[in-house]
Amino acid sequence: MPFQNITLDVSDQVATLTVNRPDKLNALNDLTVSELGQAVEEIRSRADVGGAILTGSGNKAFVAGADIAELAKQGPLEGRERARRGQEVLRRIETSPKPIIAAVNGFALGGGCELAMACHVRIAAENAKFGQPEVKLGIGPGYGGSQRLPRLVGQGRALELILTAEMISAQEAYRIGLVNAVVPAAELMAHATAMLRKMLANGPVALAMSIEAVVRGMELPLDDALRLEADQFGLLAATEDMREGMRAFLEKRAPHFTGR
Ligand code: COA
C-alpha cells in the first residue's frame, strides 16, 4: 500500500525518506509514525538500499513535533502507548545496520528533534531550529528526548533546553554538539547525500558493526562494550570485505566491497 504521509525514494543505494505533511509542518500523527516504522523496516531489509536520508517536505519544517491535535485527546494509557510506539520506531532507526542521516531543513521540535537525534548523524540547514518545547504543553519529551539529548549534549544543556522549552538556532545546535554540520539550505540534500555516499563506499558489514558498537556499546558497562568491540574486530576478520580492503590498500587501488 502506498504511503499517505511520507515518501520513500530509492536511487543508487540511497533511500530518501521524507515526512510529507507540510500543511501541518510535518507533525507526527499516529499514521505518520506508523508509516515511518514501515519505511524503516523497508530500508533495513531492502538489498538495493545501503543507507538513508531522513528529511521533511517543504522549506519550513523538518518535523514540528508530535501532532498536538492528537495528543490533546489522549488519556494516560493511550499516552503511554503512543510514547512506546514512537520510541520503538525511533529505536529501529537508531539500531539500523545501515547509516541514516537526518537532513534537518527547518523546525525540529519535540518529536522532530527526537527523530533527528535517533538518526546516526544530523546535518542542519542554516534556517533549522531545534527544541524540546513539551513542558509548554504540560507534558515532557515522549520519544526518547529525555535520554538522547543528555547523551548528545550533556545533562546540564539538555535540562536547560527541556526545562526552558526554548528554541535554539542551527548554529547553537552545532556549538553544543547536537548537529554535526550546518550548511546553506540549498546545499542541505547534496551535503547529506555526499556524506552518505562517503559512508557507503566502505564495507557494509563494517558499517553495520561500527553502528552497533557505538549505539549498543554506549549502553553497556565499558568492559562489556570493549568486549563487543573486540568480538566484532575478530568477526570482521572472517569477511571477504576485510581481505579486499587490506589487499586494495596494499595494491594502492580503491576497494570493491561486496558485503560478504
Ligand atoms: N502538531 C499539530 N499541528 C501542528 C504542529 C504540531 N506539533 N506544529 C504545527 N502545526 C500546524 C499548525 O497548527 C498549523 O495548522 P493550521 O494551519 O491548520 O492552523 C500549521 O501547522 C502551521 O503552523 P503555524 O503555527 O501556523 O506556523 P508558525 O510559523 O506560526 O509557527 C511553530 C511555527 C513551529 C513555531 C509552531 O507551529 C509551533 O509552535 N508548533 C508546535 C511545536 C511544538 O510544541 N512541538 C512539540 C509537540 S510535543
Flag whether 212 is in a domain.
yes
Same structural domain, 189 and 245? no
- CATH code where residue 235 lies: 1.10.12.10
Does 41 participate in catalysis according to the annotation?
no
Could you give the CA distance from residue 196 to residue 193 in angstroms, rounded to a whole number? Answer: 5
Among residues 162, 141, 63, the alpha carbon closest in space to that of 108 is found at 63
Report whether pLDDT(84) > 90.
yes
Q: Is residue 260 part of a domain?
A: no
Q: What is the pLDDT of residue 1?
A: 64
- Of 5, 19, 23, 24, the residue with max ligand 1 atoms within 8 A of its CB, to mutate for a pocket test, comes to 24
* Segments forming the whole domain that contains residue 244: 204-250
User: Could you tell me if the CB of 112 is within 6 A of ligand 1?
Assistant: no
Grid coordinates representing 259?
A: 558485503
pTM: 0.98
Query: Residue 27: is its pLDDT beyond 90?
Result: yes
- If one residue of 5, 26, 68, 113 were mutated to test the ligand 1 pocket, choosing by the most ligand atoms within 8 A of its CB, it would be 68
**Which cell numbers hold the place of 149?**
539529548
109 lines ligand 1 (CB under 6 A): yes
Protein residue closest via CA to atom 28 of ligand 1: 25
Percentage with pLDDT > 90 across the chain:
99
Whether 118 and 221 share a structural domain: no
Are 116 and 21 within one domain?
yes
Whether residue 114 has its Cβ less than 6 Å from ligand 1: no
2 pLDDT band, cuts 50/70/90, is: confident
Burial class (CB in 10 A: 0-12, 13-18, 19+), 191: middle
What's the structural domain count of the chain? Answer: 2
Instruction: Tell whether ligand 1 has an atom less than 6 A from the beta carbon of residue 24.
Output: yes
Do 124 and 243 sit in the same domain of this protein?
no
Q: If pLDDT is split at 50, 70 and 90, which confidence band does 32 have?
A: very high
Domain edge (last residue) among 176, 200, 224: 200
Whether the predicted pLDDT of 123 surpasses 90:
yes
The residue-averaged pLDDT of 137-143 equals: 98
Q: Is the per-residue pLDDT at 221 higher than 90?
A: yes
DSSP β-bridge partners for residue 163: none
CA 162 to ligand 1 center in whole angstroms: 18
In the reported structure, the alpha carbon of residue 65 is separated from the centroid of ligand 1 by a whole-number distance in angstroms of 8
